[in-house]
Structure 1
């Protein structure tokens, strides 16, 4: 039951592993958590006072601030109680800083602290952990929320200077201002984002990932994520039964493209699954259904065709660039470009199990393959 970093797994495939080779686990000493890439110093209330990037020799936390500040705000919108967030919600705020217990977590290569917070009639448990060689910090969160008309946000004041933040949307991303210089910018105080939001300078940035919380905010260098919205209509108990969720902080070199933000967010939302195959017979040690080496191009979905004995691959470009690349499909006999209704447009030639394709910025390609 321990957590280990797995060897490289083939894309859309599997690898048989007989026993794990345990790597060096992060070090936990006093209020400091450290691995090969970063060093974290915690405050008594569970905030992060310092996040030092050891490889880049750079402090990530804005001077005098803390990362992962949990703040509750009074939330009484004009209407649409569980949907609308009024622009004046920050006028009444309450810091969630009472920690009733702190526990150490030593789970193989996953090491960190669990902080149990008490706030009014509510309880928040957070496991803040890192792996042995990763910059990513995970915040696994369980909340019992009994505060009607209060919204809970996690704030990350970063040592960055930017004017825009990039937010993930389906098959792409959008830029929104982090300033409020006019009414149009001020109206964008809360932004919808899917799996990640990224605040980057030219050579360094920080992404905030999540596996199910889609309300982001940014003001200057403060990036925030909405965790709970305690509305009472139409369901007064909606916020009381929130399942466990995880959000993550990912410092990275370069922009979101070079920092592997999309890849890390995908791993958070679709983690690897381990199966016990003791006594089973598997012919190949490893196998891959499909692979490509082009950065910025992703096989987002694989599904059965609606009315044929074939499969549909949804391939997308997410870096905003043109790409000419090869797709390796070792088991495919025929391939066709299809439209969204899965009507065949044209046949694609296959050479040694490879298909050559071109994609424009943010283009979506649907490919039908016959095995």
Structure 2
């Protein structure tokens, strides 16, 4: 991946050499902070009204754009109003993602801060993660129902694609977003699909000090991303790998051989029996077969509900020693109770 950052600290190019594709729309810039006035008609701290979009200020002035201390990143500092933003843009070695660390010292009132990514992409719909799966939403506003979705929610990722190529924006928290699609003017044919993640608001009621102070965000831009890539990178940014130094190697408690199957919980049973409870789901939206391997001898496998009670209907997954064969429907959530030898 090749990233170009201009003197304003904005990403003017995110090129994917493998696909020979430019991610950023022509004449646009990603990593663009935008500030809106925010005066909802009612419920200051809870509502967002669509007319906030009528006025916007692009925060393009930078106090400094310098190389990061590690020599492999770009540090951008901006000031606006009574607030200050420091960003660090980096490319982790061996990974296809641009990581954007943002620190905002926020001291605005009745303002709405967004971070924009305009993509050279014609997408009829986009995927946004929810718990144990993702949902698709249209990018158009042809109906009143779609127009009302001017602000939506996601968990770890938003992903858009044309057939054969896509892009994802992942985050380390859960934030709102908006996605819009526009047809470019003469001289620049094509469609721009813009993802904007919501960072901060500053309501005055009921608490005039709402969100005042320092906030930290981490986002990553992944060109060429499928839904599978978005799922993986979403988890990576939320649960980065941690290493521990010890006297001996410790085998994982469980492993699974299919990336579509995401393990979200490994725990001891609540009843104190010593059984191991494993919860996982199919995350790509298709049917999946996988083998779950326990790092200990397994005597019995029982399918349970979320309260760890045995499920009466259906046969439990077949297992041979510590290997358990799984067959999952799209977005199916499964909990297994493993009794140890």
Fold match (TM-score > 0.5): yes
Give the match for residue 31 of structure 1.
none
Would the aligned equivalents of 1:213 and 1:225 in 2 still touch at CA under 8 Å?
no
Q: What do the CA deviations read for 1:310-365 (whole angstroms, capped 9, x no partner)?
A: 22111101122222322111304232111122112376553132011221111110
**Which one of the candidate residues 302, 307, 312 is aligned to 1:341?**
307
Give the match for residue 186 of structure 2.
none
Work out whether 1:79 is the aligned partner of 2:42.
yes
Q: 1:130 to 1:169 in 2, by over 3 A?
A: same
Shift of 1:65: 0.6
Would the aligned equivalents of 2:155 and 2:175 in 1 still touch at CA under 8 Å?
yes
Matched residue of 1:262: which SS? helix
Q: What do the CA deviations read for 1:248-288 (whole angstroms, capped 9, x no partner)?
A: 111125x313xx1111110100111233x3xx522x3x622
Would the aligned equivalents of 1:41 and 1:51 in 2 still touch at CA under 8 Å?
yes
- Point out where structure 2 has 5 or more consecutive residues left out of the alignment: 182-192
Work out whether 1:41 is the aligned partner of 2:10.
no
**Which one of the candidate residues 277, 280, 283 is aligned to 1:315?**
280
Would the aligned equivalents of 1:138 and 1:248 in 2 still touch at CA under 8 Å?
yes
Matched residue of 1:184: which SS? helix
Q: 1:325 to 1:39 in 2, by over 3 A?
A: closer
Give the match for residue 256 of structure 2.
292
**Which one of the candidate residues 224, 245, 248 is aligned to 2:217?**
245
Matched residue of 1:180: which SS? coil
Q: What do the CA deviations read for 1:215-263 (whole angstroms, capped 9, x no partner)?
A: 011001011101111112232222213431201111125x313xx1111
Would the aligned equivalents of 1:113 and 1:129 in 2 still touch at CA under 8 Å?
yes
Q: 1:184 to 1:208 in 2, by over 3 A?
A: same
Q: What do the CA deviations read for 1:277-304 (whole angstroms, capped 9, x no partner)?
A: 3xx522x3x6222111123111111122
Matched residue of 2:215: which SS? coil
Matched residue of 2:90: which SS? strand
Give the match for residue 187 of structure 2.
none
Matched residue of 2:254: which SS? coil
Matched residue of 1:261: which SS? helix
Would the aligned equivalents of 2:305 and 2:335 in 1 still touch at CA under 8 Å?
yes
Give the match for residue 93 of structure 2.
132
Which deviates more, 226-235 or 342-351?
A: 342-351
Shift of 1:203: 0.7
Shift of 1:98: 1.9
Would the aligned equivalents of 1:335 and 1:369 in 2 still touch at CA under 8 Å?
yes
Q: Distance in 2 between matches of 1:136 and 1:40?
A: 10
Q: What do the CA deviations read for 1:168-193 (whole angstroms, capped 9, x no partner)?
A: 00001111111112211111111110
**Which one of the candidate residues 270, 282, 286 is aligned to 1:306?**
270
Give the match for residue 184 of structure 2.
none
Work out whether 1:355 is the aligned partner of 2:324.
yes
Q: Distance in 1 between matches of 2:79 and 2:20?
A: 35
Q: 1:92 to 1:348 in 2, by over 3 A?
A: closer
Output aligned runs, 1:191-230, within 5 Å: 191-220=152-181, 221-230=193-202
Q: Distance in 1 between matches of 2:316 and 2:7?
A: 62
Shift of 1:145: 1.1
Matched residue of 1:63: which SS? coil
**Which one of the candidate residues 103, 125, 129 is aligned to 1:142?**
103
Q: Distance in 1 between matches of 2:38 and 2:297?
A: 54
Output aligned runs, 1:148-159, within 5 Å: 148-159=109-120
Matched residue of 1:267: which SS? helix
Matched residue of 2:53: which SS? helix
**Which one of the candidate residues 58, 74, 78 is aligned to 1:95?**
58
Structure 1 residue runs of 4 or more that deviate by more than 4 Å after TM superposition: 346-349
Would the aligned equivalents of 1:305 and 1:312 in 2 still touch at CA under 8 Å?
yes
Q: TM-score, normalised by structure 2?
A: 0.90
Would the aligned equivalents of 1:330 and 1:354 in 2 still touch at CA under 8 Å?
no
**Which one of the candidate residues 156, 162, 165 is aligned to 2:126?**
165
